[in-house]
Amino acid sequence: MDLSTEYLGLPLKSPLVISSSPLAKDVDKVRQIEDAGAGAVVLHSLFEEQILIEEKQLNENLLQGTESFAEALNYFPELTRFHHGPEGYLAHISDIRSAVDIPVIASLNGISVGGWIDYARQIEAAGADALELNLYFIPTDPAVMGTQVEHMYTVLVKEITAKIKIPVAVKLSPYFSATANMLRRIDQAGAKGLVLFNRFYQPDFDLDRLEVNPRIVLSSSDELTLRLRWTAILSGQVHCDIAVTGGVHTSDDVIKTILAGARVAMMTSAVLKHGIPYIGDILSGVEAWMEKKGYSSVQDMRGILSMKKIAEPAAYVRSNYMKVLGSY
């Protein structure tokens, strides 16, 4: 059974990719992920905002109370060097790169054009095989128009893909007026992959303290359908590869993403829940299904249920909605 696939021009031994998660912070765990059969690994995100906040906070904390009182002109030893955010992350890329053979995809979340480009270059230099841009932006300002957000995204992708040589995938949210158009523009801007879709931290309320607590919960298979729809719609309509992330929990989920046209299925929550060996179980399940259905390679089954391939493309548009309603 041939599970191999290609994503962002990189050969992968299986279509299951472990997406951005704390698992990738540990080199040993990444080795185990590789051994369990994952095709690639996406590292946790480098957050420019976090780096800037940490730099600012460290500076403020080290300066607090200094040069104010004759006996204590400072409160910390004068250290000659600090490893700020990117340094640790970049070193981690190198460590992972030399520890495993599967492609290592770095993830970046910037806040300034300069920051995005600068960090992208550094990530490339550190040895990442590809870069996933994590476009994680919530336009809370009512004055900001959708076109502005779209423009900002496309310009950013153009800028970055022009500046680095490794392939760039773009992970973004489904919240666009014309999602297909937006994704195609990202494709045209130079992305080699689309990662569908981001899951945001959601606000929750602490009823005892009357406070808002942002939190993120592990995904469930229910979230997959949204991804399947847009994968199926876009498959064959964009040049770049499609990866599905969010809601991939079972072998069936992996199979569905491939049938919809995705190159890879990305998984995190299920692995966090069941452990790294679960990767092997998933892949065995995929193989069993392929065997049962008579597919010898992933390549053969990719996109066969995409909008372009099926007889009734309306299934992905309004009639689908009507059909589901009718089923109740």
Q: Which residues bind another protein (CB under 8 A)?
A: 51-52, 54-56, 58-84, 88, 210-211
Q: How far is the CB of 62 from another protein (least distance, A)?
A: 7
Q: How far is the CB of 51 from another protein (least distance, A)?
A: 8
Strand-pair partners of 265: 16, 244
At 203, give phi and psi (nearest 5°): -70, 145
Q: Which of 156, 109, 111 is nearest to 131 (CA)?
A: 109
Is the CB of 71 or the CB of 141 nearer to another protein?
A: 71
Is the CB of 209 or the CB of 318 nearer to another protein?
A: 209
End-to-end Cα distance, the chain: 39
At 18, give phi and psi (nearest 5°): -85, 115
Is the CB of 76 or the CB of 321 nearer to another protein?
A: 76
Q: Which of 169, 89, 166, 161 is nearest to 135 (CA)?
A: 169
Number of continuous H segments (helices) and E segments (strands) in the chain: 12, 12
Contact criterion met (CB below 8 Å) for 17 and 264:
yes
Is the CB of 23 or the CB of 248 nearer to another protein?
A: 23
At 169, give phi and psi (nearest 5°): -105, 150
Q: How far is the CB of 144 from another protein (least distance, A)?
A: 22
Q: Which of 217, 215, 233, 213 is nearest to 225 (CA)?
A: 233
Is the CB of 61 or the CB of 319 nearer to another protein?
A: 61
Q: How far is the CB of 18 from another protein (least distance, A)?
A: 22
Is the CB of 67 or the CB of 101 nearer to another protein?
A: 67
Q: How far is the CB of 26 from another protein (least distance, A)?
A: 11
CA-derived radius of gyration, the chain? 22
Sheet strands (E) in the chain: 5-7, 10-12, 16-18, 40-47, 104-109, 130-134, 168-172, 193-196, 202-206, 211-215, 241-245, 264-267
Q: How far is the CB of 245 from another protein (least distance, A)?
A: 28
Q: How far is the CB of 44 from another protein (least distance, A)?
A: 15
Is the CB of 59 or the CB of 296 nearer to another protein?
A: 59
- C-alpha 12/C-alpha 128 separation (Å) is 15
